Structure formats: structure tokens, C-alpha cells
Amino acid sequence: MLIRRAPDLKSSEITTESQYLNRREWIASMGALGAVTAFPSIAKALGASPQGQDPKPIGTPMGLQPNDTPTPWADVTGYNNFYEFGTGKEDPAENARAFKPLPWTVRVEGMVNKPADYQLEDFLKPHKVEDRIYRMRCVEAWSMVIPWRGIQLSDVLKRAEPTSSAKFVEMTTLFDPRRMPGQNSRVLDWPYVEGLRLDEAMHPLTMLATGVYGRTLPNQNGAPLRLVVPWKYGFKGVKSIVRIRLVDRQPRNTWNLSAPEEYGFYSNVNPEVDHPRWSQASERRIGEFRRRPTLMFNGYADQVASLYSGMDLRKNY
């Protein structure tokens, strides 16, 4: 059987930005908001806003430029990469409607002194929930500005007490083809796995997101828990996380296994390193037509460049 990798998909099978922008905005109402009503304690833990209100961007702007404004809710929740629910940009919002993200269990294990299985509410309860507005950049050369809500990954890792042997953090998405229909395809090797170096994971910018625009994270955005690393390309943002594992070797992340010449482990936003099929020197902000210059580390160089001191960022792409 021929296994079709993502880079082999025909362009006609991927929803174009222009097709998306012409669609009605009803997709924006889809997602996990209905599930929150049935689990009020979880809703409180996640900091969900009441339904029926127009979401407003809230949070501390971090790494933004003077002309950066939050991407509209309809775009943030309707134009997504989440192959577990389909390869088209609109597929997740449509195909994730029936997904029920609660109850949810997160396993923290590996080279830690305190491994544990957590129900989502217990996983989140001890930690400070913050609202932060981040620039986000996709390897496909489009970008957004998203008001995230979540907790710092470092808080979770400190709670688990990594051992001195731990060097990397590996995170894994739920594997359940009945609930995630995209996993019935062979477009990627499931489950989805991503990873960070431990110092990257401990950086204060690195978040586990539980919401956007002050609302509970919609299904299509990775409910109920996803990784956000704003200085890296978006495919690093593993979604619907069920396992966090501390390891001593670099994790073999899914996209790097699928197409190693296109998707490196580090995945830092670097305008000087082109994707093999397009330039990364500029980007198109969703909702805009004029392209913008791509910023080194997506505009977060002052905060994170020291993590890579002495590294060849062309080799370690």
C-alpha cells in the first residue's frame, strides 16, 4: 500500500486562504464551548467566558510589533492545521464538532521523581492561569496574532521534579481514530509527537494553552490542552495532549520523521532558512493581503536567542 505523506498531497486537496475568507463565519461558533456547560468545574478551571458574548482580545501583549493586532476570532477558530481532523484548513472546525474533550487525563512520566496521571482539573488547579497575546507563525508562511489563555509548562515540569538525566520533553496527542477521523488516514504516522529541549520547555514564554480570547480552547484549536511556543513554527504546537514525558534523548517528532528535509527538530522561525518549497523571508498575516517581513525567532529574539548561542541555526533548523 502506498503511504501518502503530507508533502505529497495535491494543492487542490488543501483549502486555500481565499476559499476560506469567502466562507460564512458560522464555523466560529463550533468547538468545545458546548461541552463546558456540562462540566462547570472544568469551565471554571479553564477560565471560560460566558457564552453569548462577543470575545474580546485580552491579555498581555508579548513580542508584538506596533502594527500587530489580534487576529479575529473567526479566523483563529476557523483556519487551522490539525490533521487529526483533516488536512484542509476548514476541516478541523467542521470535523471536530462532535469531539468531546472532557473528561481528560494527562500522564506525566519518564525521568521525573513524581510521575502521575492527572484529571484535567487537577492538572491545572495548582497553577496560575494567564492571558497572553502572542505572534504565531506557520511554516506555510502565514501568521496570526492570538490571545492565548493557559499555564506555563515550566510549572508542570517543576511539579513533576525532573531528574538530572532529563534533557528533553516529549509530548503526545491523543490517538483515537473513532473520535479523530483524520487519524484513519495514513497522511502521518500517529499518534502525533513533538518535543522540546528541557531549557526551551522551561522558558517562561512556553505555555500549555487552555483557551483563546478568554474562552475555553475550541476543539479545532487543540482542546483541551495544547502547546504554544511562540518563537517556533506552528507545527511544534502539539494539540490535545495526553502525555508529557521527560527523556534523555531528542524526541523523534512526527513531521521530522515524515519529511526531515522540510521539518527540523528545532523549528525556530528563521527568515534566512527557506523551506525547500518556498521562501520564509516574508509571511502573510491572515486577514491581510500585503506580506510582512519575517522576524528572527518570530520577534522574540531578545527573549530566546541566548538559548541557541553558538549553534548553527542553518544546520539546526
CATH second-level architecture of 10-308?
A: Alpha-Beta Complex (3.90)
Quick one: pLDDT at residue 309?
97
Residues paired with residue 50 on neighbouring β-strands, in sequence order:
none
pLDDT in tens, 189-229: 999 999 999 999 999 999 999 999 999 999 999 999 999 99
In whole angstroms, give the CA distance from residue 16 to residue 228: 24
DSSP 217-239: PPGGGTTT-EEE-TTBBGGG---
pTM for the structure as a whole? 0.85
Quick one: pLDDT at residue 53?
54
pLDDT in tens, 81-114: 999 999 999 999 999 999 999 999 999 999 999 9
Domain boundaries, the chain: 10-308
* Residue-averaged pLDDT of the chain: 87
Quick one: pLDDT at residue 116?
97
Phi first, then psi, for residue 229 (nearest 5°) are -130, 95
> In the chain, how long is the greatest CA-to-CA distance?
53
Phi first, then psi, for residue 73 (nearest 5°) are -50, -45
Query: At 195, which helix (H) or strand (E)?
Result: strand 193-197
In degrees, rounded to 5, the angle at the alpha carbon of residue 82 between the alpha carbons of residues 45 and 57 is: 50
